[in-house]
């Protein structure tokens, strides 16, 4: 844990936006199959991996994970899985930028399957409404509070224009006009590769994301819907008012995330490199 924390600390100090990348990598790993580091595997000539799916195009932070793995393999070969490294790195990154600490249960094994199409139904689209988000998260055992608190992960980082331009066109009634015109300007200047931050303090883990939802400055449809829907508005208001309560609920949610759909007897390996499955030993 000390090695992971040092390398994450160095990386996030050099580039504070990497905290967002590491947190998102862990979330996308957990939601596709289980927490098995499938998101870290590279595509092979015969098979396109999860990381090359459209929904994962902007994932980042892979080099930080590689560096941690290399260092750990030099220190204690064959012991720490990529799945655990990813969960610890996400936790430490959140902590580094002002978020809460939580325990990460270790011992999860690395999987051998990573297929791009597995992401299609597993990962939430930014155009889902609150009911659809509640249903999707519910299938993994999250309650409504978990889902809203975990969406607060968007207190960090950015989204690219294709993720939010439909909102600019169709959701004027739930979108602050000044915010809309600044987003429109960003996207018309920079095109699809331009990005905008989720909240004004995008490298600090705090409750500002929820305050901005109240001001109709949510970036994605799936963010703003949390304030617009009667099912979730109360939680947004609570998290906006009380950052400590958001932190508490977030740690509860992350605890469940690490255990997603885990079944007795799930097997796996300790990968030598996080990008490739181990060669069979026979």
Alpha carbons 33 and 44: distance in angstroms, whole number: 19
Residue 154 assigned ligand-binding role: yes
Q: Of 26, 28, 140, 160, which is the active-site residue? A: 28
Residue 124 assigned ligand-binding role: yes
The helix/strand/coil state of 210 is helix
Residue among 112, 140, 160, 272 that touches ligand HEM (CB under 6 A): 160
* Stretch of 23-31, 46-54, 77-85, 265-273 lying at the interface with ligand HEM (CB under 6 A): 23-31
Q: Judged by CB, which is closer to ligand HEM: 108, or 271? A: 108
* Stretch of 38-46, 153-161, 168-176, 268-276 lying at the interface with ligand HEM (CB under 6 A): 153-161
Which 3-state string (H, E, C) describes 59-72?
CCCHHHHHHHHHHH
Residues 168-227 that bind ligand HEM (CB under 6 A): 220, 222
Annotated active-site residue 28? The verdict is yes
* Stretch of 66-74, 97-105, 108-116, 157-165 lying at the interface with ligand HEM (CB under 6 A): 157-165
Residue among 11, 12, 20, 95 that touches ligand HEM (CB under 6 A): 20
| Strand ranges (E), 60-218 | 158-160, 195-197
Alpha carbons 135 and 259: distance in angstroms, whole number: 18
Residue 29 assigned ligand-binding role: yes
Alpha carbons 236 and 149: distance in angstroms, whole number: 8
Q: How many residues contact ligand HEM, by CB under 6 A?
A: 24
| Strand ranges (E), the chain | 158-160, 195-197
Alpha carbons 89 and 76: distance in angstroms, whole number: 18
Alpha carbons 179 and 78: distance in angstroms, whole number: 50
Residues 101-130 that bind ligand HEM (CB under 6 A): 124-126, 128
* E strand or H helix that includes residue 104: none
Q: Judged by CB, which is closer to ligand HEM: 111, or 218? A: 218
* Stretch of 81-89, 112-120, 146-154, 236-244 lying at the interface with ligand HEM (CB under 6 A): 146-154
Answer yes or no whether residue 140 interacts with ligand HEM by CB under 6 A.
no
Answer yes or no whether residue 156 interacts with ligand HEM by CB under 6 A.
yes
- Side-chain-facing half-sphere of 254: CA atoms under 13 Å: 27
Q: Say which residues have a Cβ less than 8 Å from residue 90's Cβ, sequence separation at least 6.
A: 22, 23, 25, 26, 27, 254
Alpha carbons 151 and 102: distance in angstroms, whole number: 17
Residues known to be catalytic: 28
Q: Which residues are annotated as a binding site for substrate?
A: 124
Q: What are the residues binding ligand HEM (CB under 6 A)?
A: 20-21, 23-24, 27, 58, 60, 124-126, 128, 133, 150-151, 153-154, 156-160, 163, 220, 222
């Amino acid at each position: 844990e000390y090695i992971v924390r040092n390398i994450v600390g160095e990386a996030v100090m050099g580039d504070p936006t990497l905290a967002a990348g590491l947190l998102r990598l862990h979330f996308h790993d957990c939601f596709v199959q289980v927490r098995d580091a499938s998101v870290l595997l590279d595509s092979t000539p015969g098979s396109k991996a999860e990381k090359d799916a459209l929904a994962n195009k902007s994932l980042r932070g892979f080099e930080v994970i590689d560096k941690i793995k290399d260092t750990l393999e030099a220190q204690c070969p064959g012991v720490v899985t990529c799945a655990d490294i990813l969960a610890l790195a996400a936790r430490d990154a959140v902590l580094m930028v002002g978020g809460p600490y939580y325990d990460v249960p270790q011992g999860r094994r690395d999987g051998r399957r990573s297929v791009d199409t597995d992401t299609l139904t597993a990962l939430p689209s930014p155009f889902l409404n609150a009911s659809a988000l509640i249903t999707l998260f519910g299938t993994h055992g999250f309650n409504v509070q978990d889902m809203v608190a975990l969406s607060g992960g968007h207190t960090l980082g950015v989204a690219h224009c294709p993720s939010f331009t439909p909102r600019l066109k169709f959701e004027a009634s739930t979108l602050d006009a000044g915010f809309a015109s600044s987003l429109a300007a960003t996207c018309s200047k920079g095109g699809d590769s331009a990005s905008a931050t989720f909240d004004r303090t995008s490298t600090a883990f705090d409750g500002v994301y929820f305050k901005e939802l109240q001001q109709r400055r949510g970036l994605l449809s799936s963010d703003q819907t949390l304030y617009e829907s009667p099912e979730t508005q109360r939680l947004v208001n609570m998290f906006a008012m009380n950052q400590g309560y958001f932190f508490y609920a977030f740690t509860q949610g992350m605890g469940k995330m690490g255990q997603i759909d885990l079944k007795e007897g799930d097997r796996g390996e300790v990968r030598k490199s996080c990008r490739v499955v181990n060669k069979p030993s026979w």
